[in-house]
Structure 1
Amino acid sequence: MTPPLAISAWRKPTPGSFKINCDVAMKREGLRANAVVVVRNDRGELTDGSTYSFKCSSVFQGELEAIRKACFLARDMCAVPVTIESDNKTAILLSASELVPPWEVYPLIMDIRAVKKQRNLEFIWFKRSANKVAHRVASLAAKGKLSLDWVANSPASLVSLLLHDVISVPLLARLELDDSVNSVLESSAASQVRRFHYWD
C-alpha cells in the first residue's frame, strides 16, 4: 500500500497500466447512493466506467462499495496492472491492510481483500482535489443527469476535467504532455461526431 501522502493532483499511471478512481454521492432523500468507478489509461484517456445505485446507510459504506466495484472491474481486466484510488483515507487503509474491519462493513472489506490478493492490486489514497473526474460523474449520476453512454459521449464538464488532469502533470512528464492532450481531445472530438451523427 502506498503511504497516505497528501497527493493533491491526479497522476497518469505507469506505461501499460490503468488507474481506477472511485467515488460515491449520497442522494438527497438518504439511504441510497451512487457509486462510480472511472478507468483511465496511461495517456489520461477515459476508457471505461460504471455507475451503481444502491441502498446505503453511510458515506463510508458507499465509498467501500465503490472500491469493491472497482476491484471487480479490475479482476475482469486480465493481467493488466491496475491501481485503485479513492479520496477516503480510512476506506483505502482498511482495503489495503489486514486490520480488523468494523462488523457493518466486514463483507465489503473481505471481498476487496480477496480480489486484491488475486490481482495484486495497488491502493492509493489522495485528496479530493485529485479525484475531480470521479466526483463529477458521481454528482451527475446522483442528480439523474448522466447519460447511459457517458464514457463514449462524455459531457463537456467531464471532458474539461479530463484535460485539466492531463495538463496538471509534474514537470518531468511535460515531454508527454502534447501527445496526451491531443489524445484526450481526439477522443472527445470523436464523441462529439458520434453525438451529432446520432441527432442527424
Structure 2
Amino acid sequence: MLGSLTIVVAHHMYSMPPYPYLATDYGTQLSLFTHHMWIGGFLIVGDAVHAAIFMVRDYDPTTRYNDLLDRVLRHRDAIISHLNWVCIFLGFHSFGLYIHNDTMSALGRPQDMFSDTAIQLQPVFAQWIQNTHALAPNTTAPGATTSTSLTWGGGDLVAVGGKVALLLIPLGTADFLVHHIHAFTIHVTVLILLKGVLFARSSRLIPDKANLGFRFPCDGPGRGGTCQVSAWNHVFLGLFWMYNAISVVIFHFSWKMQSDVWGTISDQWVNTDAAFHRETGTAATAIIVRDWQEKIITGTTTRFTTILAITAEAQAYREALILIKNLQIGNCIIETDCLPLVQAIKAITPIADADAIIRDILQLLDEAPDVGATWTPRKGNKVAHQLAALAAGNELRRQWIFDPPNQIRNTIRIEAGFAILQQNQRMHKQVKGVYQLSRAPIREWAT
C-alpha cells in the first residue's frame, strides 16, 4: 500500500504542484518523479518479500482453514496460469506494435506505421477519462470552479516567470503504445512476486519448501532442474522486472514532458494558414507576424498551384520558417490550425502527401532551435485564414498590411473577442495571482 501511494505522489508532484515555482523547476520535477517512482517500486517488492517470509515462517495451515488466504492458496494454480497468459498476450502485442513500426521505418514506409500521422491507435478510453475530468466543473461537479488539475485540460496553459507550469498533457498513438509496455512490465513483475508468495511453502516439484526456508540453493538437475524455485529467487527476479518497469516509466515521463509540456513562453508569434480551391488547384498561404503583445507587425501572402490541402498547409509553414530566418526573429512560436501538420512536425514523422516539404521544415527547425510549433483552433487563427482565402481568390491588394480591408478589420475584432474569452477563462483559473498568464490579453492591430 505504501509503495502504491508513493507512486501516486510521484504523479501528483507534476500534475498538482504544491508550489508555483516547483512546477517550473524542471530538473527538480524530474528528480522528484524519479525518486518517488524508485522508492515506490522498492516498497512494492519489499511487500512481496515480507509476504513470502510470512508464508514460510509464520503461516500455520492447521489454524487457517477455509479463510480468505487459504482459498487463495487452493486456487493458486488458476491465478498464476491466468496471469501467465495475460503477460504473454501483453508482451507479444505491445512489443509486436513496435516491431511493426521498426520494420516499416526500415523499409521507408512511414505511412504504414502506427502513429498519429499514419495508422492511428488513439487511446479513446484514456481520452474519455481526461475529458470527463476536464468537464467536471460544469457537469459532475457543478459546485467546483475548476478541474482537479489543468493537465486534464479545460483551460489554457499556466506559466510562471515565462516558463510553462501547467498544460494539458495530450494523449495519442505513441502514448497508447508505451502504456501497453507499462502494462506488460507491471503484470510480469506482479506475476513473479505473486508466484513467489503463493508457492513459498510448497510446489509440485519441491513439496517441502516450508522446511527449506525462505531461501535455499538449487540442487541442479537432481529433480529435473530446480533453479528459480525459492521465494528469495522469485524476489530476485521480480526486482529485475521492477527495475525494467520503472526504467521505462522514467524514460517515458522525461521524454513526454520535455517534448509536449515543458518549455518557455515565446516573445514572438507567427500565424500561418492556407486556402485551397480543389476545382482549380489554386492555393494561397498567409503568414502573420506578431510581437510579444500579439500586435500584428507584418505579414505576407503567396499564390501557387497544388493538388492537396495538406501540401498547401505545409507550404505555408515552410514559408513562415523562411520568413523568420530572413527577418532574424528569435524565440517564437508558429501557430497553425492544421493539427495533422503539427503532430507530424512534433513526431518527426513526414506525411506521405507532403513528405518533401515536411523534411524541409524539419531541417529548418534544426537550424532554428528557438522556434516551436503549436496548434490553435480556427477561432484563434481567423485573420490568417481569411487572408489566405482572399489571396487565393486574388481579392487581396498588396498593401493590406498598412491599410487592411474592412473584412479583415472585422475579423481582427472577432479574433480579439476570442482572445478575451480565453483571457477570462484563464483569469477564472488563476490561483491567487501567483501564476502569470501565458498569453497577452487581446490581439489587436498595431498602431
Structure 1 stretch 145-154 or stretch 77-86: which is displaced more?
77-86
Which has the larger share of strand?
Answer: 1
TM-score, length of structure 1 as denominator length? 0.74
The CA deviation string for residues 93-136 of structure 1, in whole angstroms up to 9 with x for no partner, is 1123222431x422101111111121121111122121101011
The CA deviation string for residues 17-59 of structure 1, in whole angstroms up to 9 with x for no partner, is 2211111111364222011111112223221111111121111
Which has the larger share of helix?
Answer: 2
Q: 1:21-32 maps to which residues of 2 (within 5 A)?
A: 21-27=271-277, 29-32=279-282
- TM-superposed deviation, 1:151: 1.0
Q: Which amino acid aligns with 2:381?
A: N
Q: Which amino acid aligns with 1:112?
A: I
Match of 1:110 among 333, 352, 359: 359
For residues 374 and 289 of structure 2, the distance between their equivalents in structure 1, rounded to whole angstroms, comes to 14
For residues 148 and 67 of structure 1, the distance between their equivalents in structure 2, rounded to whole angstroms, comes to 21
For residues 162 and 19 of structure 1, the distance between their equivalents in structure 2, rounded to whole angstroms, comes to 15
Say yes or no: does 1:125 pair with 2:375.
Answer: yes
For residues 59 and 19 of structure 1, the distance between their equivalents in structure 2, rounded to whole angstroms, comes to 23
Say yes or no: does 1:65 pair with 2:319.
Answer: no
Question: Can you give the 5+ residue segments of structure 2 that lack an aligned partner in the other structure?
Answer: 1-150, 157-161, 163-263, 428-436
Q: Secondary structure at the residue paired with 2:411?
A: helix
The CA deviation string for residues 120-157 of structure 1, in whole angstroms up to 9 with x for no partner, is 21111122121101011011112221110111111122
Q: Which amino acid aligns with 1:58?
A: L
| Distance verdict in 2 for CA 1:16–1:112, change over 3 Å | closer
For residues 89 and 69 of structure 1, the distance between their equivalents in structure 2, rounded to whole angstroms, comes to 18
For residues 35 and 162 of structure 1, the distance between their equivalents in structure 2, rounded to whole angstroms, comes to 18
Q: Is the 8 A contact 1:38 1:49 kept in 2?
A: yes
- TM-superposed deviation, 1:6: 8.6
Q: Secondary structure at the residue paired with 1:76?
A: helix
For residues 265 and 308 of structure 2, the distance between their equivalents in structure 1, rounded to whole angstroms, comes to 36
- TM-superposed deviation, 1:165: 3.1
| Distance verdict in 2 for CA 1:75–1:6, change over 3 Å | farther
- What corresponds to 1:83 in structure 2? 333
For residues 390 and 282 of structure 2, the distance between their equivalents in structure 1, rounded to whole angstroms, comes to 15
For residues 139 and 166 of structure 1, the distance between their equivalents in structure 2, rounded to whole angstroms, comes to 20
Q: Which amino acid aligns with 2:267?
A: S
For residues 335 and 155 of structure 2, the distance between their equivalents in structure 1, rounded to whole angstroms, comes to 11
Q: 1:46-195 maps to which residues of 2 (within 5 A)?
A: 46-102=296-352, 104-120=353-369, 121-167=371-417, 168-169=419-420, 170-171=423-424, 172=427, 184=445, 187=447
Question: Can you give the 5+ residue segments of structure 1 that lack an aligned partner in the other structure?
Answer: 188-200
CA-atom RMSD in angstroms: 2.9
Q: Is the 8 A contact 1:35 1:63 kept in 2?
A: yes
For residues 55 and 166 of structure 1, the distance between their equivalents in structure 2, rounded to whole angstroms, comes to 32
Q: Secondary structure at the residue paired with 2:416?
A: helix
For residues 7 and 115 of structure 1, the distance between their equivalents in structure 2, rounded to whole angstroms, comes to 31
| Distance verdict in 2 for CA 1:60–1:95, change over 3 Å | same
